[in-house]
Structure 1
Amino acid sequence: SHHPVFIFLSETKKPNAFVKTICKKLGFEDRFSLVDPQGQGGGLLLLWEPSVSILHIQSTSFYIAIHFQLANSEPQWGIFVYLSTNKSVRISQWADLEAAKTGWGDLWFVSGDWNDLCSNVEKEGGNPRPYGSFLGFNSFIKNMDMEEIKMLGHQFTWCNNRTTEGLVEERLDRAFGSLDWHQAFPNATVLNKATSSSDHSILLVDAGSQKDRKPKRFHFDKRWVGKEGFLEVVSAAWRIPVSGTPFFKLKEKVKNTRTALLIWSSKFHTQNQLIIASLTQKLEDLRAQNIANNWDDWNNTRIDLQKAHHQEELYWNQKVRLNWLKHGDSNSNFFHAYTLQRRRKNAISRLVSSRGEELTSQSAIQSHISDFYSNLFCSEGSWGGDSVLHLIPRSITSDMNTSLMLPVEEEEVKTALFSLPPDKSPGEEGMSAFFYQHL
């Protein structure tokens, strides 16, 4: 069973007086917001739980926007929409949402019936739509700077319920979140559930409140390299005496360096977005005064702001790890969006085990994957493979084998290390190639 915080109904087709009576009978009393239907269609209803603290409500003929706060969380906006089936009206509604977005801040999601598609992939049956008919909706999504929340289950949300020959299914309903919303709720999903009472599916938006995510791994931050004291910290940690085999000594030195960097980095402020906001506000304050009388302060603040933007761009650049995108080619908004998109694409929220069990918790999924690969690479005894191996042609000559058996030289290791892309995924210890290449 599900216990949603909000319940949104579109196309209620009932007058306000009737809907209010139903809401009170269901125990919602004054915990609802509604929009009257227009003619024979339309009508919106939003209900919420007592745990929701309502800060502000806005509504139009096609959406209800609510500024709310839950316990132990930041305030956010939830926008619930029902867009027109008429394209010209829908275009006007897109413009209204783009204008309203400026008042929602950074943390918001929007969900409902969009009555449009992004491509013919989101349509099954009937005649395909021309490519140009999708451009408007896709441009609107881009202009809103929002990402779709990952949908689980059936990919279509509407069905005309006709016979096999005339059956049409489409993905008309979906939920989106701002980039900051996705960052705040990285495990968010939309569950598509079938229902017999409507031609539309029920969408359950789950912000992903489960807290069983694994601890955050250490990752070397390339922004540290230019900071005062960096080389001294690394040098002191590397000189700590360690005994053992060469490989063990190397591993321990890297471990000591990682610990020292964590302690050192905690002493200075690395949240560049807050620094950028503070410096931007300072520039605004100085601009409101006479810049000529505060030129030195103005110029120094402007330089500091450029440095902060530079640091922020470095951070997101190393997280997206795009070989074709060099630092300075774009801005951190792109890096941020790409990182979120890749994180969503790579996320595993559900898995079916070999026994047919559906696993949904992160701990169960991690345990299953670990067990699977542990067993995969374990030998279960010989099955007489020698009779087959002699049929495989030899591809390694004696000279090649001799070359491969030679001791590894220090210069070979250095050449291999310095040929690695600096921002590729680090090893188990969290140190990227960038760290070794800039010592």
Structure 2
Amino acid sequence: MNIILWNCRGVTGKDTVSRIFNLIKTYNLVLVCLVETRADTQRTRNFCKKFKKQWDWAATPARGYSGGIIILWKKDIEKVTPICFSRHVIHLTISNNPFKPWIISIVYNGQSLEEQKATWKELDSIANIAGPWMILGDFNAIRTLEEKKGGQMNWRSGMKSNYFNSFIVNNNLSELKFSGPPFTWCNNQRGGSRIWARLDRILCNDKWLDDASYHQVSHLARCQSDHSPLLLKCWKQEYHNKKPFRFDNNWIHLPECHKSVETIWETEELGNPMHATSHRLHNLKTDLTKKCMGYSRNLEKKIKQIKEHITELESRECSYRSNGDIWTTLRPLYMKHQAYLRQHTTYWAQKSRLQWLQNGDCNTKYFHQMSKNHRNNNIILYIKNKEGTLVTEPAEI
């Protein structure tokens, strides 16, 4: 599924319309999100009439020469339902196999700090939704000083960044990795007055990352525009690369692990010492994979089972007919439950590649998020073949 986001700064110009049609044809788009359309209700209708009958649309008109959002989608998408409109945001749900239903929020944030605070408040109100959520748009704010080149940062710009970062952190959102120029906006002035900034981006929650784990964002050429179009490609993985062997730190607690190491290292190997060591390591990897693989993956099931057993015994202990023998049974269960929790935390901390772990910190939800971010960073977006051509299709990569 291919989606484009573009701050087109008006939809009435012939060059703008030509580029939109070119983007649709070139990238086989199914969803087109245009912000700062500068089009009132009638101009919006006239623009959308230019598209054939297989396209549908929803829009928020501009106020005077400011703002405006238009969303176009192909009718062969299973279902698109606009659910809420405001001056700066349009929310819609989209269902399209093989993906789960998403909520998408298209944002054109205001220039003033007060308008931006109102936008964050509006988005905060739906941030606890249960399903996949993606937010894309021109946020008119940067996150760090590195996202701007040229010009000066005043206190108001700093406040915008603070509110923007707080919104992202408080709602556990992630930014999608991108390829292309680092800045998405330029004022197109010359010399020392030229300014670049990254104002446009795509955010999502962890449920969206679960559903669309294979995706890529490209910052396309601005050409004569102030803003770069952002192209988002999402697909389901149709091929599976063989995963490399990784030692699970929880195996240290298993007798099978120690037995395998002891047995294989005591095996006599002939030939060069380096070759013998390599052969032992290979045999150890095979043996550990066979005997220990899956132990940590079953921890959640074990934790659930032992919690159910503890709940049952604690309920019996509270009854008038209970005796002191129940405590004798409960005590080792408590210890085993704590051990499983520590192992579960260790497993996800290792997957997220965190080298630190504070005592008592068992925030496995955070580790899940870090693991997904690393998986996203490991995706290869493009590669150059022998002919020097950039290849972007996943199967070809």
**Structure-2-length-normalised TM-score:** 0.71
Structure-to-structure mapping, 1:179-328, within 5 angstroms: 179-182=206-209, 184-195=211-222, 198-207=225-234, 214-226=241-253, 248=275, 250-265=277-292, 270=297, 309-325=341-357, 328=360
Per-residue deviation, 1:58: 2.3
Greater alpha carbon shift after TM alignment, 143-152 vs 68-77: 68-77
Distance 1:270 1:138 in 2: 34
Question: What do residues 372-425 of structure 1 show as CA deviations (whole Å, max 9, x unaligned)?
Answer: xxxxxxxxxxxxxxxxxxxxxxxxxxxxxxxxxxxxxxxxxxxxxxxxxxxxxx
Q: Which has the larger radius of gyration?
A: 1
Give yes or no for the alignment of 1:167 onto 2:194: yes
Correspondence 1:108 to 2:133: yes
1:167 partner letter: R
Per-residue CA deviations over 1:214-243 (Å, capped at 9, x if unaligned) read 321121222344458655677777788977
Secondary structure, aligned partner of 2:125 = helix
In 2: Cα distance, 1:220 partner to 1:282 partner = 31
Counterpart selection for 1:153 from 161, 164, 180: 180
1:346-385 equivalences in 2 (<5 Å):
348-351=380-383, 357-360=389-392
- Give the conservation status (yes or no) of the 8 Å contact 1:313–1:327: no
Tell me the secondary structure at the aligned position of residue 110 of structure 1.
strand
Hey, what does 2:98 align to over in structure 1? 72
**Secondary structure at the residue paired with 2:134?**
strand
Q: Distance in 1 between matches of 2:106 and 2:307?
A: 33
Report Cα offsets for 1:100-155 as digits up to 9, x if no partner.
Answer: 111143x3321111011113322233323345552222222211212211222222
Structure 2 runs not aligned, ≥5 long:
1-25, 321-325
Q: Which amino acid aligns with 1:331?
A: N
Output the CA distance in 1 between the equivalents of 2:105 and 2:166: 19
User: Which residue pairs with 2:11 in the alignment?
Assistant: none
- SS of corresponding position for 1:100: coil
Matching residue of 1:385: none
Deviation at residue 88 of structure 1 after TM alignment: 0.9
User: Are 2:52 and 1:27 aligned?
Assistant: yes
Aligned match for 1:125, one of 141, 144, 150 = 150
Distance in 1 between the 2:209 and 2:153 partners?
A: 32
TM-score norm. by structure 1 comes to 0.65
Partner in structure 1 of residue 6 of structure 2: none
Q: Does 1:142 align with 2:142?
A: no
- Say yes or no: does 1:86 pair with 2:118: no
Shift of 1:19: 3.5
Residue 48 of structure 1 corresponds to 73
Provide the rounded CA distance (Å) in 2 between the counterparts of 1:300 and 1:18. 72
**Alignment gaps of 5+ in structure 1:** 366-439
Question: What displacement does 1:325 show?
Answer: 3.8
Residues 1:65 and 1:115: Cα distance change in structure 2 (over 3 Å): same
Bigger drift between 274-283 and 147-156 goes to: 274-283
**SS of residue paired to 2:162:** helix
Selected match of 1:99 from 109, 112, 125: 125
Task: Report the number of matched residues.
Answer: 364
Q: Is the 8 A contact 1:35 1:59 kept in 2?
A: no
SS in 2 for 1:101: coil
Aligned Cα root-mean-square deviation (Å):
4.5
Q: Which amino acid aligns with 1:84?
A: G
CA–CA distance in 2 between the matches of 1:138 and 1:327?
27
CA distance in 2, matches of 1:299, 1:311: 19
Shift of 1:87: 0.9
Change (3 A) 1:296 1:151: farther
Q: In the TM superposition, what is the alpha-carbon distance from 1:90 to its structure 2 partner?
A: 0.7
**Secondary structure at the counterpart of residue 126 of structure 2:** helix
| Contact 2:310–2:333 (Cα < 8 Å) also in 1 | yes
Whether contact under 8 Å (1:156, 1:171) holds in the other structure is: yes
Residue 245 of structure 1 and its aligned partner are, at CA, apart by 6.0
Deviations 1:235-290 (A, max 9, x none): 77778897766655554454344334434456768165677789999999999xxx
